[in-house]
Structure 1
Amino acid sequence: MTVETHLPPERQAWRAMLALSLGFFVSLLDQSMVAVALPDLQRELNASVNHTMWVSAAYLLAVVVPLLFTGRLGDVLGQRRMFCMGVAVFGVGALGCALAPIVEVLIAARVVQGVGASLQMPQTMSVINRIFARERRGRALGVWGVIGSVAALAGPLAGGYLVGNFGWQAAFWVHIPFVVLAIAFALLWVPELPTTAQSIDVASAIISLLALAAIVFGIQQGPVLGWGWAVWLILLVGVVASAWFIRLQVTAYTRGSSPLVPLALFRNRNYVAGSVGIIAMGFMAAAVMLPIMFWLQTVQGIPAGEAGIIVAPMALVSLLMSPVAGIMADKINPRLLGAIGFSILILSLFAAWWVMQADAQAWVLGLPIAGLGVGQSFIWGSNAATTLRDVSPQLMGAASGVYNTSRQVGSVLGVALVSAVMQTGSPEAAIINSLFAIVVALVVGLVSALCFRNTLQG
């Protein structure tokens, strides 16, 4: 196992963490704030429902599709440079969204935003894993989990206030100060780490873009298009392109090129298990609020503002628990932490199903929702730390790209499958029973966590 030989002083590492966290924060904040702005922008831009949905869908596609490529770009061109470039592109996209006169321009600007987020996301995790000693990465990634919790809590609350008082454009203008600060702090505090790869296999990059675009588009738009033959054809193209991509990775060295996804990563048991686990977490995180918010607002008739307060304990609990869980990730067998986290999530969803099935008072649902906050606190940071702890610096960009891609593909799967289940049978029963689709994903995550090896002692 190769380790980083020139770690910066820990004080500088934490300063770099602040800069990286600002970029991560603003990309997460965007996703939750824009959801609040959709009804207003649909009305003011006189947009159709399909166009309005593409305001979110275009961003997600643009984030997911290039991730394998952008992760490797950090290895070749330098992670600090790619982080700053990604945050800047994200900011340009946000500016374009705020100034968009028609919905088509807004969707195009959302694509620019998504590409920017895709450029910076893998660099954040790569740098964290290269500037902190391996025995202290858990607490660093615990703080990283706190940032996610703050964004999840602040997005709907701040979004509601800004959109209500200043219009939907405010959901994009608010990003600009964060973008400026993230770039300034990154240039000041994030070290210029040595590059670890010389080039990128162009053929692999093109085929990976085709494969991910086809698969993500097919899954994302399948429910909208009624799973017609065109959707299945697109998915088939994605599967064939994926097989071709794997073949290119196997033959990369014999072709005199560097693989975009080095297959050596998958000889690391913890990396494979953690990548499966993050698919399950992406599935849960993206999908769980769909049935819960529909039950609160549609079935129980709770206003959106009150529904937001009922689910807020999840983010609050996660905010408090994540630093503690991060410290534990550096000391306790990751198999135990993962088993505890996924078990709490599964039990919390069963409790939520029971509350909804029993038609209990809406506020009671806040208790199992808080349990979700506890469970995910044990997983986000520890799963990332365990997955990437023993990856060599030479492969860190590629490893981070695959890890982030796994999480985002899990998110797309979660939204598509849970949405499909919610549309089958009696509306109220379908909303409630769709929680079981998330439970199945979390059971897969639990099994993956039980496959971790304890490598804390090196």
Structure 2
Amino acid sequence: MVGFIRPPCDAGVVEATPAFDAGLSQRRKWLTVVATIVGSSMALLDSSVVNIALPAIQQALHADAAGTQWIVNAYLLLLGALVLIGGSAADLYGRRRIFVLGVAVFVAASIACGLSPNVAVLIVSRAVQGVGAALLTPASLAMLGATFGEQERTRAIGIWAGAGALTMAAGPSLGGWLVDQVSWRAIFLLNVPLAIAATALALRFACESSDPNAKQLDWSGSAAVAIGLAGITWGLSAIPASGIRDNAVLAALGVGTASLISFVVIEARLHDRAMMPLSLYRSRNFSAANALTLLLYFALGGALYYLPFGLIRLGGYSATEAGAALLPFALMMGFGASFAATMAERLGPRLLLTAGPIVAACGLAMLAFVDLSQAYWVGVFPPMFLLGVGMAITVPPLTSTVMGAAGKAHAGIASGIKNAVARVAGLLAVAALGAALFASFSYHLSATTPVQANEALNAVMSGQPAANAEAIAAFERALRTIMLMPASCAALAGLTGWIWIEPSGPRASS
């Protein structure tokens, strides 16, 4: 995932939010839509352009591979851990208030990112960006849902989704152009005018709304999941430099695992106050959809993180060209979903949730064997197109399965959980595939120590002249190897859909 597509159930959050009961003029309603589009697209655009800019950032700030991973992981960690509590805060304290607060935090962190003198400051700033995104994203969706009644909501969601599709399509190309023509810092500073526009529109036209039955915030659960994800992610990213048997690595992995287990215990004890009610997992379809999401978005997030490094370092692409190379995927994903939704209504979700991930797996497998130095239309275009088709087929029935399995009463929290799972999957993918990349890279180098292998890998990924032919060849082989891992995960997601999803389609529960 890592920013190139919206999570699978954003529209579900909108549909699950009760409409505001006061009469609003059409002008106020549609300008509220504009505010939510600008706010949510700001976060979507930022995370998509960062991936394209990573090679340039790594080179400019002299970051190693682990530090570069944390530029993405710090953002995803806080976003994934806090997005559910951000939705609860919006319901409890007011959706417009939390939206504006989230935009303010996000843009302040964006300015800090753009002015970062070193990679440490950039990582901390990206973490704060994740906090801002965890507030503004669910609040913007809930604010949109509260503004429109059922009769107008379909049109509003269509406009909002179409704007998101355009953002997905334009984001990587725009980011690449800014990196090449201005600076990687411009991709963060671009958020400033967008934040000003979103805040002004929200304060002027959006009405405040909240949920009188909103539950108290689940801080203990959020802390447990944040510590758990941080421990596992840090442990995986530290393996290249320290080794799998290092005491600090083992301790981090142990603490992370224990914290995630404690999160499950906390949620079980809190029952209705939990940010992730475990009772939802009694539904076969809901559990299956979560497993499928974890596998598929792990595959997507990992592949789209490392692909730009391959395009730029091995294929000789500029940042602009690397961003444009992703355009077929973004267009298919953004504009093919409506056709897939019609197919899902006719065929049921099980068939599409099997076929879609398998088609995506074929695209990822092709990326593992393609020669990145070939002409784009022969080499990169076919697998990117196929990956887009697979994801477009999968997302609409995945959303409908979640909503149907949870029932109307729990549709909002179920959608939020699904979105959080998608983001966490991307976080784990970057860290896990980073460890696998280093292991494969070291294997293909001639006799060398882990320290020397790590230095050689950093030299290749940052484009240093010191990178020799042997290291470049080892990186190419390692990249092919780890691309097969996302392909396997996507294929396993398809198998999960066939075995686990009920043949009769989603079964609603009240």
TM superposition score category, shorter chain reference: 0.7 to 0.9
Alpha-carbon spacing, 1:66–1:225, altered in 2? closer, same or farther (3 Å): farther
Q: Which runs of 5+ in 2 are unaligned?
A: 1-14, 445-473
SS of residue paired to 2:71: helix
Does residue 113 (structure 1) correspond to residue 129 (structure 2)? The answer is: yes
- 2:505 maps to 454
Correspondence 1:42-441 to 2 at 5 A = 53-101=69-117, 103-124=119-140, 147=163, 149-187=165-203, 188-189=205-206, 192-227=209-244, 228-252=246-270, 258-290=273-305, 292-329=307-344, 332-356=347-371, 361-365=375-379, 366-389=381-404, 391=406, 395-396=410-411, 398-423=413-438, 424=440, 425-426=443-444, 427=474, 428-441=476-489
Kindly tell me the number of residue pairs found equivalent between the two proteins.
Answer: 453
Contact 2:45 2:167 in 1 (8 A): yes
Query: Do the aligned residues in 1 keep the contact of 2:73 with 2:430 (CA within 8 Å)?
Result: no
2: CA distance, partners of 1:49 / 1:204: 31
Quote the offset at 1:101 in angstroms.
4.9
What is the alpha-carbon distance in structure 2 between the residues aligned to residue 299 and residue 240 of structure 1? 40
Amino acid at match of 2:199: I
Paired with 2:251 and 2:194, the residues of 1 have a C-alpha distance of 41
- CA–CA distance in structure 1, aligned partners of residues 287 and 178 of structure 2: 41
Contact 1:344 1:374 in 2 (8 A): yes
**Cα displacement (A) at 1:116:** 0.3
**2:52–2:319 Cα contact (<8 Å) kept:** no
Amino acid corresponding to residue 28 of structure 1 in structure 2: L
Q: Which moved more, 1:436-445 or 1:359-368?
A: 359-368
Matched to 2:124, the amino acid is A
- Kept in 2, the 8 Å contact 1:356–1:432? The answer is no
State the partner residue of 2:490.
Answer: 442
Q: How does 1:29-44 map to 2 (within 5 A)?
A: 29-38=45-54
Instruction: Decide whether the 8 Å contact of 1:280 with 1:442 is kept in 2.
Output: yes
What CA distance in whole angstroms lies between the structure 2 residues aligned with 1:221 and 1:147? 39
Q: Kindly provide the CA deviation profile for residues 309-363 of structure 1, in whole angstroms up to 9, marking residues without a partner as x.
A: 4443222333331333345556652223322321221222334445449x96553
Identity of aligned residues (%): 29
Which 10-residue stretch deviates more, 44-53 or 309-318?
44-53
Asked whether the 8 Å contact 1:65–1:213 carries over to 2, the reply is no
Distance (Å, rounded) in 2 between the aligned partners of 1:341 and 1:13: 36
Q: Which moved more, 1:326-335 or 1:22-31?
A: 326-335
Q: For residue 175 of structure 1, report the CA deviation from its aligned partner.
A: 0.8
In structure 2, C-alpha distance between the alignment counterparts of 1:448 and 1:143, rounded to whole Å: 33
Shift of 1:126: 5.3
User: Which runs of 5 or more residues in structure 1 are unaligned?
Assistant: none
Contact 1:330 1:456 in 2 (8 A): no
SS at match of 2:217: coil
2 CA distance for matches of 1:291 and 1:47?
16
C-alpha displacement of 1:199 = 1.5
TM-score of the superposed pair, with normalisation by structure 1: 0.82
Looking at structure 2, the residues matched to 205 and 314 of structure 1 have their Cα atoms a distance apart, in angstroms, of 33
Listed one character per residue, the Cα deviations across residues 389-421 of structure 1 (whole Å, up to 9, x for unaligned) are 454666455434422221122112222333333
CA apart distance, 1:235: 1.8
Assess if the C-alpha contact under 8 Å between 2:45 and 2:171 holds in 1.
yes
CA RMSD of aligned residues (A): 3.9
SS for the counterpart of 1:288 is helix
CA separation of 1:141 and 1:434: change in aligned 2, threshold 3 A? farther
Secondary structure of the 1:65 match is helix
